[in-house]
Structure 1
Amino acid sequence: MTWQQIAADKKKAQLDAVPKDWLLNEADLPKQIDVSSCAHSSPLLSPLDLEITESSVSVLLGNLASAKWSSLQVTTSFSKRAVLAQQLTNCLTEIFIDRALARAKELDEHLKKTGSVVGPLHGLPVSLKDQISIQGLDSTIGYVGWIGKPATENAAIVDILEELGAVFYVKTNIPQTLMWLETFNHIFGRTTNPHNRTLTCGGSSGGEAALIAFKGSPLGVGSDVGGSVRVPAAFCGTYGFRPSYHRIPYRGCANSLQGQDSIPSVLGPFSNTLDGLTIFMKAVLSKRPWLKDPLVVRKSWDEDAYSLVEHGGPGAKLCYAIMWDDGFVKPDPTVRRGLEITKKALEAAGHEVIDWKPHKQAEIGLTTLKIWASASEEDGATVAALTGEPLVGSMDPEADIWQKRPMMAGPLSAYQLWQVQKAKRDLREEYLDHWARTVKETSTGRPVDAIISPVAPYAAPPHGKSGNIFYTIWCNLLDYPSVVVPVGAKVDPVLDAKQPRTEFYTEFDKQNYEKYDPALYENAPLSIQVVGRTMEDEALLAMTKIVDDALQATAL
């Protein structure tokens, strides 16, 4: 059987897994590019379905625990909205709603019989990026060669979330190999951005971000080795969190570059409200995940850190530093405006905001790419050879599927790789000292509390046009936790008009400037990321809440 037929059969099986009365006729599907609010006019969703799916995680959990809403009802509502999201954005891979409804019924019966919840996530639907293994289901990560090879056991995070009371119902689309900032593969196709379907949703957790943005899931889990949670979260206007290395268990997940341990991929949550990210972290850490994954650090949720005891304590004035650009590629006016909105909001809330001096950002990015490229071509080719499918060489919809992917580095000997890893260590040490020296620039008596930076030098671009990862990848090499926050605005052709420039940092900077046209980014959300130091996950979530609260206060 050809790889094309294997892929087609898998896609047909996916369609067959959807309840037939939830599928809309082609003629009834919306045709506009912005489908983010189409649920409100869909015959598929009742007023109760809409109320449930537009509630925050904390509200959902409260109503589930009190039995105001049954898990069966909540799971059904999100399942219907997820299926609608699939029909409009193509964001799903595995769909297993019957299995989810059976689990929801069991949870409802437990609550009725005992009067208590199974755990802090009792009855909550949770979506998962395709690579997160669930026993009995495929985790293809976009490889045709991994079709029909279901997981024999759950990933550690799946076991933990189930113990906490979560209900799984869908897995979400990814790019082949995962190592892309967009989402397309030969099995499930291309996922689009619900705010503008001519724009990318980002990647590699692109299906997750598109589903969350459409409100087809209240809480999702993605992964991030170079920006794969944060880029799609920013492009789709959701919240997303990249935790520090080894806080959340990764054991049992399918992946590319297995054995590349110098810059580990990490799992992190998505949600439409910040509380979802914090609830996820507290709940998972409560289950002592180091007992299920030997790489997880033995570090429980730190309430003192969340209370900002090392940052002046609750209610203290904080100092945020804004990285306006990285000295390599200057962001578009859209991105600059998102940073300016954030600065004004924080200053209005009484906090100090200074400029961040970037430090070797390009060198950090290039060092990361060298580590990835040391064996990534062989890694991908080995799996693709199972069926003869081509490795995706471009995310451009018009590109030849056999086009070879351009690499910014090549294979390395073990000794050469050691030298790059040594350079990585040196960069981490330098950045630690660079951050510590900011104590001389703040009025708080402390170094900068957190950095605010772009997520990319552009808002969500058209398909095939996302390639700059230097605004996220620095956090992966340095192991800085970071949270993406939507600023509550979208691209505006007037406010974000192109500004004249004659000097450029690099040829990449010039190319980015020349291709900028605000009309191409119609309706794209504006987002920023808040960055903390290694293992300051709890403090970062608290400092991000201050940013989020300030943005929402200025929006009123």
Structure 2
Amino acid sequence: MGSNWEQLAADKRKRIAESIPSDWLIRTPPSDNNVFAYPKESGLLSAKEIEITESSATDLVAQLAQGKLKSADVTLAFCKRAAIAQQLTNCIHEFFPEEALAQARGLDEYYAKHNKPIGPLHGLPISLKDQLRIKGKETSMGYVSWLGKYDEEDSILTALLRKAGAVFYVKTSVPQTLMVCETVNNIIGRTTNPRNKNWSCGGSSGGEGAMIGIRGGVIGVGTDIGGSIRIPSAFNFLYGIRPSHGRMPYAKMANSMEGQETIHSVVGPIAHSAADLRLFLTSVLQQEPWNYDSKVVPMPWRSDLEDAVKAKLGSSGLTIGYYNCDGNVLPHPPVLRGIEQVVEVLKQNKHKVVPWTPYKHDFAHDLANKIYGADGSTDVMRDIKASGEPPIPNIKELLNPDIKKADLNDVWDIHLQKWDYQMQYLSKWREVEAELGCELDCIVGPISPTAAIRHNQFKYYGYASAINLLDFTSVVVPVTFADSKVDGKRADYKPLSDLDASVQAEYDPDAYHGAPVAVQVIGKKLSEEKTLAIAEEIGRLLGNEVTP
């Protein structure tokens, strides 16, 4: 059995390798661990292709809509850069440039005939996490046993993006099971961070993090049940949004633990700017996804909520809560410095910044872990064992297969605990607002206790998973980079717990020098417009709204 799964995996790797045209191959691989700048230096991209791939999605769709760019040219540029990204970071599960170029040429023909774009994303290549189904393409989800299964229809989101004019060219890598903030599986191996091969690209949307990070794509689609959009965004110095459940269509996507309804996995974009996140969200909502996916709330984009933020920026300023520790695990020094940097820049720009005490985040972390393991890992272990492949070792950090299966009454009780906790959190939010005498616009906190972390060292998901339990909107904003000269190890620190001690012991200032640092901007449920507008302002103040 073992040799069979290995043969299946080897065949898949061969098929991925053969999907890259020979004249896009790197002849002399870079020797440095940091391959971030290599695409520009490779000689494989023309000056125009470099310009295209380093533009924003917002600018590209404007030029495509005006006929200043052709989709075929934009698509070719991103296909070539994606091929380079794959060779540098191992971030692809499916690559189909010929079909993408055919789709792009069809859009160009439409424009030539009608003198207008087909939709708000006309001609723009969009990178998709492997979970999204494309008719005729393979979806493995990091399971060897899923290889050889070809999708018979698009996911709803895929179909709506297609309707909006997006071009599809790649499906990116995920970890076995999805339930890991590291991207490694037994099919392709490990996906690495473009800024340092020794660092994780995050997970489970790690292929998207690496692909968008090195600009093999300009907008990538990820999913998030325990941090899987936000961690890859943070580790690759990108923006990412975890929308609340019901804002974006998830129907007909592949998933682990399908039918688990206590903490919903949600889908959202990863990009280089808040403006590009907004472009994606508004483009999807224009397609009225609630008419296709019954779980989507029939709620168009509410520009008035963005206008209200802008009005505050021009008058009284925002009121923002912040915390730098959830009481369970203290973040490493670069992350603490990142929080301080955000707080200082907000204060300097006349915003009111107040401490927020995380409410029962230890309870939230523990309850989330019970939910993830409620089926005793029956679902994911079935798909792992079906091929005879071994489980990747990282799984136990979030999905402990030793947890006893819950019965239905246990699950019902967990539902009630979650609901009660969500209401308690809203009560605390109101209490703070009563004390302040004004609205608390959002909360800023860590998304991870670490900067982009070394492989196999991610131990604590609580900064992300507590927000999943609350179903709050969360936007990741890139802040700074770890600096060994200022982010020294704390010699006198007394750990909060054994887990905290383990996280602290992992920190090495030299090993993390240059690693991306980010924060998350947290808003209430279904507050995407408002929270994204605030995140955009924080990014502007930091000077990080568009990565050079």
Normalising by structure 1, we get a TM-score of 0.95
Q: 1:228 to 1:353 in 2, by over 3 A?
A: same
Give 1:18 deviation, angstroms.
1.2
Within-5 A mapping of 1:355-366: 355-366=355-366
Asked if the contact 1:308–1:314 (Cα under 8 Å) also holds between the matched residues in 2, the reply is: no
Q: Distance in 2 between matches of 1:223 and 1:238?
A: 15
Q: Distance in 2 between matches of 1:440 and 1:95?
A: 53
Give the corresponding residue for 1:503. 494
Whichever residue aligns with residue 362 of structure 2, its letter is A
* Deviation per residue, 1:397-452 (Å, 9 max, x gap): xxxxxx9974574311111121122111111010010111111443xx32321110
Give the corresponding residue for 1:428. 422
Give 1:10 deviation, angstroms.
1.1
* Deviation per residue, 1:507-533 (Å, 9 max, x gap): 212222222111121321111110000
Q: Distance in 2 between matches of 1:448 and 1:286?
A: 30
Within-5 A mapping of 1:82-481: 82-308=82-308, 312=312, 315-375=315-375, 377-394=377-394, 406-407=400-401, 409-442=403-436, 445-481=437-473
Q: 1:260 to 1:2 in 2, by over 3 A?
A: same
Are 2:524 and 1:533 aligned? yes
Secondary structure in structure 1 of the residue aligned to 2:394? coil
Q: Distance in 2 between matches of 1:394 and 1:163?
A: 38
Give 1:390 deviation, angstroms.
1.6
* Deviation per residue, 1:147-193 (Å, 9 max, x gap): 11111100000110011110000010000010001000111110000
Secondary structure in structure 2 of the residue aligned to 1:520? coil
Give 1:549 deviation, angstroms.
1.3
Asked if the contact 2:133–2:252 (Cα under 8 Å) also holds between the matched residues in 1, the reply is: yes
Q: Distance in 1 between matches of 2:402 and 2:531?
A: 32
Give 1:2 deviation, angstroms.
0.5
Give 1:535 deviation, angstroms.
1.0
The worse-fitting range, judged by mean Cα deviation, of 311-320 and 428-437 is: 311-320
Q: Distance in 2 between matches of 1:309 and 1:174?
A: 36
Q: 1:60 to 1:309 in 2, by over 3 A?
A: closer
Whichever residue aligns with residue 194 of structure 1, its letter is P
Secondary structure in structure 2 of the residue aligned to 1:256? coil
Secondary structure in structure 2 of the residue aligned to 1:307? helix
Give the corresponding residue for 2:15. 13
Whichever residue aligns with residue 530 of structure 1, its letter is V
Give 1:273 deviation, angstroms.
1.4
The worse-fitting range, judged by mean Cα deviation, of 384-393 and 142-151 is: 384-393
Of the three residues 22, 25, 28, the one matched with 1:23 is 25
Q: Distance in 2 between matches of 1:38 and 1:243?
A: 33
Secondary structure in structure 1 of the residue aligned to 2:483? coil
Secondary structure in structure 2 of the residue aligned to 1:496? coil
Q: Distance in 1 between matches of 2:323 and 2:398?
A: 34
Q: 1:187 to 1:337 in 2, by over 3 A?
A: same
Give the corresponding residue for 1:550. 541
Asked if the contact 2:180–2:398 (Cα under 8 Å) also holds between the matched residues in 1, the reply is: no
The worse-fitting range, judged by mean Cα deviation, of 406-415 and 187-196 is: 406-415
Q: 1:426 to 1:418 in 2, by over 3 A?
A: same
Q: Distance in 1 between matches of 2:122 and 2:399?
A: 44
Give 1:394 deviation, angstroms.
2.9
Whichever residue aligns with residue 21 of structure 1, its letter is D
Within-5 A mapping of 1:72-91: 72-91=72-91
Asked if the contact 1:196–1:522 (Cα under 8 Å) also holds between the matched residues in 2, the reply is: no
Are 2:512 and 1:521 aligned? yes
RMSD over equivalenced CA pairs, Å: 2.0
Give 1:69 deviation, angstroms.
1.6
* Deviation per residue, 1:286-332 (Å, 9 max, x gap): 11101111111111111111222798586541011111100111111
Q: Distance in 2 between matches of 1:312 and 1:29?
A: 50
Q: Distance in 1 between matches of 2:194 and 2:40?
A: 14
Q: Distance in 2 between matches of 1:494 and 1:343?
A: 21
The worse-fitting range, judged by mean Cα deviation, of 502-511 and 244-253 is: 502-511
Secondary structure in structure 2 of the residue aligned to 1:2? helix
Q: Structure 2: 5+ residue runs without aligned partners?
A: none
Give 1:376 deviation, angstroms.
5.1
Normalising by structure 2, we get a TM-score of 0.96
- Please identify runs of 4+ aligned residues in structure 1 that moved more than 3 A: 309-316, 403-409, 553-556
Secondary structure in structure 2 of the residue aligned to 1:231? helix
Secondary structure in structure 2 of the residue aligned to 1:59? helix
Q: Structure 1: 5+ residue runs without aligned partners?
A: 397-402
Q: 1:376 to 1:76 in 2, by over 3 A?
A: farther
Q: 1:38 to 1:77 in 2, by over 3 A?
A: same
Identity %: 39
The worse-fitting range, judged by mean Cα deviation, of 505-514 and 50-59 is: 505-514
Secondary structure in structure 2 of the residue aligned to 1:483? strand
Q: Distance in 2 between matches of 1:405 and 1:180?
A: 8
* Deviation per residue, 1:209-264 (Å, 9 max, x gap): 01101011011100000100001110111111100101100011100010101111
Whichever residue aligns with residue 224 of structure 1, its letter is D
Secondary structure in structure 1 of the residue aligned to 2:464? helix
Give the corresponding residue for 2:478. 486
Q: Distance in 2 between matches of 1:99 and 1:177?
A: 28
Give 1:502 deviation, angstroms.
4.1
